[in-house]
Amino acid sequence: MSNPHLQTELPGPNARALIARDAEVISPSYPRDYPFVMSHGRGTEVWDVDGNRFLDFAAGIAVCSTGHAHPQVVAAVTDAASKFLHISSDYWHEQMVGLGERLARIAPMGEPAMSFLCQSGTEAVEAAIKLARYVTGRSRFIGFLGGFHGRTMGSLSFTSSKYTQQKGFNATMPGVTHVPYPNRYRPLFAGNDQGAAVLDYIRMLFERSVPPSDVAAILVEPIQGEGGYVVPPDGFLAGLRALCDQHGILLIFDEVQSGIGRTGRMFASQHWGVSPDIMTLAKGMGSGLPIGAMVAKKRLMSQWKRGAHGNTYGGNPITCAAANATIDLVEGGMVGNAATVGAHFTSALHDLARDFPCIGDVRGKGLMIGMELIETDGSPARALCDAVITRAFHNGLLLLSCGTSTVRFMPPLDVKREEVDEAMALLRTSLQEAMVLSG
């Protein structure tokens, strides 16, 4: 075994036993491809039940933003749990109000903002859709091909990546028109400016088939996540903002994956200085506890009448405590680390790409980085991608793909430079092995 941190073949005996028990009782719909059975974690390191140590560059799909079991988050959660575990959102408590204040302070709306709290990204998106319909009185929407916004019926109506897993559900919410997301590496339109071409396409839709006066909102990921970690060209989000302003349409940024420091700015939209009307958050916001938020301009949110939307667990004290500690840690240094270590990581991946022609593109911002693999010597890119991730697992590095031929890297925001260097060495070995296997 080339990695000294691995004690057994993978999966080891303890892992195999637990996986066998799981197969009897847990839904097979979870796509669990790599037999990693976790025992505990600390920062970017995780150990399995057989004592094998891995570097976690998947971080619970970008959820474990402050790393595993960050002491400050654990202390905040423990303190909150020792006081009370739940009180319905019919009452007030410090953790919830404190979180609302933090979100209002950091929200990139450029004007006062308010939050609706929930437990997940998909619920934050549902809330955003409902608010947009409520305040505009309109019912149509524009979403993006390759977009991922969740799996409940409203959010699923916008989700178009991973379509093969979802097509068994037939039509979802009517009135959602999907348009291409500008992709410079895989351009759909002629010409150099894919962003301008997509904006023209939306204008054409507005003229021909989707009256803009029927459109409540455009829902977009400022950096596409599950769709392949696609970074839009400069000017694209600003163009969407201008189109929305022209037609009284709301602009919703889904920052469930890109928000709270992941891209080296608090919110991905801040790379381009474009403000949304509504923003959705979840994942990294709670360092692992299930929390989401729909943050909107106060002048929109305040129109919601009593009971217009609600939930039982929104504002739970423990999840709010985790989110407060997370935001404090991210603001207190991790967002800067994501920018600097992310730049180091990206440049190392570009170096790697010079040695491996199967790496077609490296893209991303901060610690939201994608590496798109392409077909070389007849080995299909998707199979190569799966092989790289499998070999990485067997070499002690946890990675995920976007369900396509793009490997994505989303380690904790406080990952160290040395951990990136160690991961790069494991990745190089894994690429070499994968090419032999799939070649």
Q: Which of 66, 89, 122, 430 binds ligand PLP (CB under 6 A)?
A: 122
Site string for ligand PLP, 50-89 (x = CB under 6 A): ----------------------------------------
Let me know: does 330 contact 67? Beta carbons within 8 Å: no
Read off the tokens for 411: 């380690």
Q: Which is nearer to ligand PLP, 121 or 342 (CB)?
A: 121
Name 47's bridge partners: 40, 53
Site string for ligand PLP, 266-305 (x = CB under 6 A): ----------------x-----------------------
CB under 6 A: which stretch of 18-26, 219-227, 316-324, 407-415 binds ligand PLP?
219-227
Q: Scanning the structure block, which residue is given the tokens 């202390």?
A: 75
Q: Which of 256, 318, 349, 431 binds ligand PLP (CB under 6 A)?
A: 256
Angle at 122 between CA 74 and CA 59, to 5 degrees: 40
- Minimum Å gap between C-beta 60 and ligand PLP is 11
The number of helix segments (H) and strand segments (E) in the chain equals 14, 15
Q: Which is nearer to ligand PLP, 285 or 389 (CB)?
A: 285
Name 409's bridge partners: 369
Q: Check binding of 319 to ligand PLP (CB under 6 A).
A: no
Q: Which of 143, 146, 225, 364 binds ligand PLP (CB under 6 A)?
A: 225
Q: What is the spatial distance between Cα 322 and Cα 319, in angstroms, rounded to a whole number?
A: 5
Largest CA distance in the chain: 63
Q: Check binding of 408 to ligand PLP (CB under 6 A).
A: no
Kindly state the helix (H) or strand (E) to which residue 340 belongs, with its residue range: helix 335-355
Let me know: does 167 contact 185? Beta carbons within 8 Å: no
Instruction: Show Cβ contacts of residue 31 under 8 Å, excluding neighbours closer than 6 positions.
Output: 165
Q: Which of 57, 116, 148, 181 binds ligand PLP (CB under 6 A)?
A: 148
Q: Which is nearer to ligand PLP, 84 or 163 (CB)?
A: 163
Strands 397-398 and 53-56: parallel
Q: Check binding of 133 to ligand PLP (CB under 6 A).
A: no
- Sheet containing 292-297: order of strands: 113-118, 292-297, 278-281, 250-254, 215-220, 140-144, 176-179
Let me know: does 202 contact 243? Beta carbons within 8 Å: yes
- Minimum Å gap between C-beta 283 and ligand PLP is 6
- Minimum Å gap between C-beta 148 and ligand PLP is 5
How many beta carbons lie within 10 A of that of residue 84, not counting itself? 10
Position with the least CB separation from ligand PLP:
121
Q: Check binding of 150 to ligand PLP (CB under 6 A).
A: yes
Read off the tokens for 334: 């991790």
Q: Which of 50, 126, 193, 226 binds ligand PLP (CB under 6 A)?
A: 226
Q: Check binding of 125 to ligand PLP (CB under 6 A).
A: yes
- Give the footprint of ligand PLP on this chain (CB under 6 A): 120-122, 125, 148-150, 221, 225-226, 254, 256-257, 282
